[in-house]
Chains A and B, each alone.
Chain A
């Protein structure tokens, strides 16, 4: 019963390695290093990265910017919620508010165009989960996250809250409608 007894050798650290251990450690180390360098590699050559662009903000300041965008670019009202549907120009700064328990306003993007999507919370922590494309980020009060996205599929996307935010959490949905490009 050696693992529950003191090592048999006084100088146990000089005991030679079994070949099976040496071989496995080498393989596992190579794989570990590969996985490590894969992340910076993807930053250079991959297309799905977070820029980690973020700013400190306040609910008031962020709401003011969102309201300005809504006032300028609203194209219609959503029939079921009466929320404004905003169609911002491609390349512009777009603002999305997470609050108990809605994502506001609804957005309309054009396929193939790039948008700077600013997201912040007015109250508690929320989770921005865009489905079915499956993009998930954490939204914090006091922080304005900037996600530069280029929709390359044309299906309607739903924003689901995936950070628990109280009793209405499971009803907190938003929408990003995607229109075909070249209109």
Chain B
């Protein structure tokens, strides 16, 4: 192996492989371009659903909403995730990337797929929403673009897996792969399942759209499509949880409380998350309650259990690391003295809180078979998934990007004072936005709907005034969050293309080194618990977890109570 392709970043100690580095940069930059495009459509959609503004005409609104959904939920996130996969394999394992040429082919296919799909939506005859439910027809290029993109992403997954094989073969690391790489592997495995499901449904749908297949069954389409649509969100969960662990390690030197627990939790994702297709089918005809209950609960909520475990162990590991540094006063000194002005940390921590408290709780509640009757297809649903995918995944990716700008792009961050505030504006705006959407959804306001006043309808219906107020709050908070997103793009683009180079040098040509096992923990007298309280190593985190559970139980009970007030039905 020639060594002229490796460099070591002096600040982080990470080792970069040149081809892998350029692939990561290209994927990250392309992802941010998609994010910019998705952000512009987000603004148009938000301004239309804000009743006092009601900006776009109906046809444009549905077109922009389709574009926003596909670009954000599929293209932005998956493109960034491929960069994360390369980082977690090649960089973390100090290994050369497998088959860079195939990786570039994958990148090219993803680029082409994004362009083909976006041109189809721009043509105006593919305003079918991200879900493109049959038998509503779309321009065939809509499906074709998705298929091409998926093939490219699949190549990226294989390059990641191939890199793991090479790392093992060439012994670039000792012992087992790091936890963060294990999390990325989880994401990759679910991604392969997701893309296979997508192929199974989108290829026949493409053939149907060009007239080769006569009929696609609507119920079957939903079942298989959601194995793509929901499982792809589980890829995001695995990826952003891996990033939480990575940032905890990078910022605090935190180590997992126990490898066993954190890895088992990731394994539960692989075992159960793909059952979640059922979340979208709870009020569909043709499926039994037994099927719905088993699948919607991920087989007794074992995947939810996994997220609750990560929700404890990530901040718990930070607490233990902080206590070891002497922040042992009371229950929360470790958290108060955390670097809240560093967007890498604040972005990650807001992502964790928002994902758990807003996205997690609402997801489980509305995924309860019967409670779904009062929530299905209301604007509560986008409220939920903006908390998981925007506050959870996107903000975690933003936090990671702030770390990568000096390390991967070798540039200093421009306007660091602005970057410091960005996670608060983005996360805070999004939190209000999602909570207001859930409030409006509870009042029955529909999702994917141009006019909640029904002015064009022969029949009339009036939502309560509070529903209009809530949607106004959605508009204001949404604009605030979009501003936060714009700041992110401004700061990162200026840094990457016009930023001052990092002062230290990091030249190619170093001999690759082996990734050593972590140094064994020096356990203080009386074990970790000695620096904590009540025999707990992380008592502050435990109290936060109890607080979380209390809100969860309360909100779950409130929704059953609300359901009980609805007409009896069987």
Contacts and interface: CB of A to CB of B under 8 A. Distances in A.
B341 to A, nearest CB: 21
Interface string B343-374: 00000000000000000000010001110111
Contact of A50 (B59, B92, B316, B569): B569
Contacts of B459: 78, 80-81, 158, 173-175
Contact of B219 (A16, A143, A175): A143
B396 to A, nearest CB: 14
Interface stretch (B139-147, B231-239, B411-419, B529-537): B529-537
B309 interface: yes
Which 5 A-B pairs rank lowest in CB-CB distance, beginning with the nearest? Answer: A2-B255, A32-B301, A54-B285, A145-B285, A3-B249
A168 B127 CA distance: 13
Interface size class of chain B, counting residues whose CB lies under 8 Å from the partner chain:
35 or more
A135 interface: yes
B564 A46 contact: yes
Interface centre among B174, B376, B569 (most CB of A within 10 A): B569
A68 interface: no
Interface in A123-140: 123-125, 127, 129, 131-140
Contacts of A81: 458-459
Interface in B529-570: 529, 532, 535-539, 541-542, 545, 549, 552-553, 556, 560, 563-564, 566-570
Contacts of B309: 21, 24-25, 28
Interface of A: 1-10, 12-21, 23-25, 27-29, 31-33, 35-36, 38-40, 42-43, 46-52, 54, 78, 80-81, 123-125, 127, 129, 131-145, 147-153, 158, 160-175
B67 to A, nearest CB: 14
Contact of B566 (A29, A48, A143, A173): A48
Given A137-B376, A140-B285, A173-B454, A31 B259 contact: no
A12 B518 CA distance: 12
Given A3-B317, A4-B245, 7 more contacts: A3-B180, A8-B518, A18-B536, A19-B536, A136-B373, A150-B569, A169-B62
A20 B517 contact: no
Contact of A25 (B59, B92, B261): B261
A72 B562 CA distance: 37
A139 to B, nearest CB: 8
B450 interface: yes
B283 interface: yes
Given A20-B257, A49-B570, A149-B569, A162 B447 contact: yes
Interface stretch (B16-24, B286-294, B328-336): B286-294
B300 interface: yes
B468 to A, nearest CB: 14
Contact of B175 (A10, A148, A168): A10
B258 interface: yes
B536 A49 contact: no
A167 B59 contact: yes
B305 A29 contact: yes
Nearest to A140: B218
Contact of A140 (B58, B219, B297): B219
A142 B218 contact: yes
A142 B568 contact: no
A48 B370 contact: yes
B518 A162 contact: no
B437 interface: no
Contacts of A13: 259-260, 263
Interface string B487-515: 00000000000000000000000000001
A171 B58 CA distance: 11
Contacts of B287: 52
A42 B218 CA distance: 29
A170 B316 CA distance: 47
Contacts of B286: 52, 54, 140, 143
Contact of A18 (B250, B258, B449): B258
A165 B136 contact: yes
Contacts of B305: 25, 28-29, 32
Given A20-B537, A20-B538, A35 B177 contact: no
B537 A18 contact: yes
Given A48-B569, A136-B378, A166 B136 contact: yes
Interface string B48-78: 0000000000110010000000000000000
Interface centre among A46, A52, A149 (most CB of B within 10 A): A52
